[in-house]
Amino acid sequence: MTSMTIMDLLERTIVRSGHRLTAPRRRLLEVMSGLGDHFTADQVVAASPAVGRATVFRTLRLMQELAVVCQVVLDDGSVAYRLGSGAHHHHVVCSECGTVSDFSSHDIEDLVAELGRRTGFEIDSHRLELYGRCRRCRAELVID
């Protein structure tokens, strides 16, 4: 049995959703997977000069809808993207180095459902980012 790469999984997700895996979309997936932990839309544009800016933004939006890419609000308020796991999750963001880690919690999902019941809202979505210092940055503070 061959192991499936992240690119294979991302491409399969796009195709299974009924969208075409065009050459520009494939190129953008390659670029995003090479940009590291998180990246900005401008970095994707700069790294793919053969793909138009509007196509980059349309593709980012589509990939967000498909949970192929997720949006992260960094500690300074700027927006970054990262390749998603496909499942709903939240982020812990290091305010020193910018490292982003994913986490999921049934407790949070239960709380959101309870808040919907209490307020009478039908909650369509939510986003949660937690900010602090990662283990490495905390260790560097102790050493310095």
Q: Give every CB contact of residue 12 below 8 A, 6+ residues apart in sequence.
A: 4
Name the amino acid, one letter, at 27: R
Domain at 88-144, CATH from 3.40.50.970, 3.40.50.150, 2.60.120.640, 3.30.1490.190? 3.30.1490.190
pTM of the model: 0.72
Q: Are strands 129-132 and 90-94 parallel, antiparallel or unpaired?
A: parallel
- Provide the residue ranges of all domains of the chain, joining segments of one domain with +: 1-84, 88-144
Q: Give every CB contact of residue 57 below 8 A, 6+ residues apart in sequence.
A: 41
- pLDDT tens, residue order, the chain (144 aa): 445 577 787 888 888 889 888 899 889 988 998 998 889 999 999 999 999 999 999 999 988 888 888 888 888 888 999 887 667 788 899 999 988 888 888 898 899 999 999 999 999 888 888 999 999 999 877 665
CA distance 104 to 72: 15
In sequence order, what are the beta bridge partners of 92?
A: 101, 130
Which class does domain 1-84 fall in?
Answer: mainly alpha
